[in-house]
Structure 1
Amino acid sequence: MSGEKQEEQIVESDDAILKIFKKFDIKNDGVIDFDEVKIVMKSVGLYPSNQKIRDIIKRVDLDKDGVINFKEFASMRRNEDICELNVLAQFKKYDVSRLHRGFITPESIKQVLREEGVDDDAINEYVIEFMALDSNGDGKVSFLDLYESMMTRIPDEWLEWIYVNVQRGVSDDAMIKILVENGFNQNTAQRLIEKTKREGRQVVERSYVDVGKNWVGGYKV
């Protein structure tokens, strides 16, 4: 699985966005504040620093009042902002399975989209695209799977694969062909190969996401 965003996009209604917003607005006061972001982060096993949480809020807080109102949240969703709060919002939207809490499954995606009134053909296409993010083939998408896709991070196993094949003398064209077939952007694949040749095995860039429960590091290009 590459770090490129794969899912077929489905336009969210105001009601659909409001439903996600309410998962964050725990106090039901119309805004998302520091404590609420922290609580939602903990619900998926994430424990960022206080400063990191403030930075996450600041990225979406357009009027700079220290909290996120619905207008700001809706703008983030509609503009498909590449930011950590939007990854979390996307994950919380589909993490509704009682049997597999903490993961997104085909059934949970179908449940959410049917409630939004999306037609079955569009749902089936979306499920196929979304489940392509499942990095270990267990039929579930983890937060890290989604994070790596939306934030364009490259999973560590692909860094190792590139390094091994560079050492073996595999041609750039052959490696790029396989990487592109697995969802990589061609320019990203080329940059990774060149960087590996120049600097050796790429080092995993660790963050609060990577030290969360049962998660493995990734690499941002």
Structure 2
Amino acid sequence: MDKHQEYERVFNHFDENKDGKISPEELQQCVKAIGGELSREEAEVAVEVLDTDGDGLLGLEDFIRLVEEVGEEEKVNDMKEAFKMYEMEGCGCITPKSLKRMLSRLGESRTLEECKSMIAQFDLNGDGVLNFDEFRVMML
């Protein structure tokens, strides 16, 4: 089953009245089912923002856009958490020293020179450290 079919299956599950659209109430149930919480107002705003045909409901394509946007947001949040683990020096960047320390914690022994070389591959602005955007490029 490809991603589109999977999204369609989820969409059909939450389309309680089987009208081919998801209402704000159905969206609330969907979010609740995955352990989240969405107020009536938040559900209405989400539907309003994503509704491409202006009928106040989410069609399948609108729903897929929502799921993919949420997934992308979660990936970025996960990357921010990972970045914080590597950063360690409070400078907002990954230095060769902080990279060496983190890799050592993960059981990967590297020299400071090796860490400088690893950083240089993704150091887009040439400052010798990785900022979050450079780290994100490296993780993709």
Please, what TM-score do these two structures have when normalized by structure 2?
Answer: 0.53
Q: Tell me which residue corresponds to 1:159.
A: 84
Task: Pick from 11, 16, 24 the counterpart of residue 26 of structure 1.
Answer: 16
Give the drift of 1:62. 0.6
Higher strand share: 1
Q: Do the aligned residues in 1 keep the contact of 2:28 with 2:39 (CA within 8 Å)?
A: no
The answer to whether residue 42 in structure 2 is matched with residue 52 in structure 1 is yes
Matches within 5 A, 1:65-80: 65-73=55-63, 76=65
**Identity of counterpart residues, as a percentage?**
17
Superposed displacement of residue 36, structure 1: 0.5
Instruction: Provide runs of 4+ in structure 1 moved above 3 Å.
Output: 10-13, 71-74, 154-158, 173-179
Deviations 1:113-143 (A, max 9, x none): xxxxxxxxxxxxxxxxxxxxxxxxxxxxxxx
Q: Structure 1 residues 176, 157: CA separation in 2 closer, same or farther (over 3 Å shift)?
A: closer
Which structure has more RCO (C-alpha within 8 Å, separation ≥ 6)?
1
Summarize deviations over 1:145-169 as a string: whole Å, max 9, x none.
x8621xx11454753652x3347xx
TM-score (normalised: structure 1): 0.37
Sort the Cα spacing of 1:55 and 1:171 in 2 relative to 1 into closer, same or farther, 3 A: closer
For the pair shown, which has the larger CA radius of gyration, 1 or 2? Answer: 2
Which consecutive unaligned segments of at least 5 residues does structure 2 have? Answer: 104-117, 125-129, 135-140
Deviation at 1:61, TM superposition (A): 1.0
Greater share of residues in helix:
2
Amino acid at match of 1:83: E
Shift of the 155–171 alpha-carbon distance from structure 1 to 2, 3 Å rule, reads: closer
Give the distance between the partners of 2:19 and 2:55, measured in 1 at CA: 15
Report the RMSD for the aligned CA atoms in angstroms: 4.1
Asked whether the 8 Å contact 2:86–2:98 carries over to 1, the reply is no
* Alignment-mate amino acid for residue 19 of structure 1: R
User: Deviation of residue 46 (structure 1)?
Assistant: 1.2
Give yes or no for contact 1:25–1:32 (8 Å, CA) kept in 2.
yes
- 124, 131, 136: which one aligns with 1:190: 131
Aligned pair count reads 109
Which residue identity lines up with residue 30 of structure 1 in the other structure?
Answer: G
Q: CA deviation at 1:43?
A: 1.4
Q: Deviations along 1:24-47, whole A, 9 cap, x unmatched?
A: 212222110011111111112211
Distance 1:147-1:191 versus aligned 2 partners, 3 A rule = closer
Distance 1:174 1:53, change over 3 A: farther
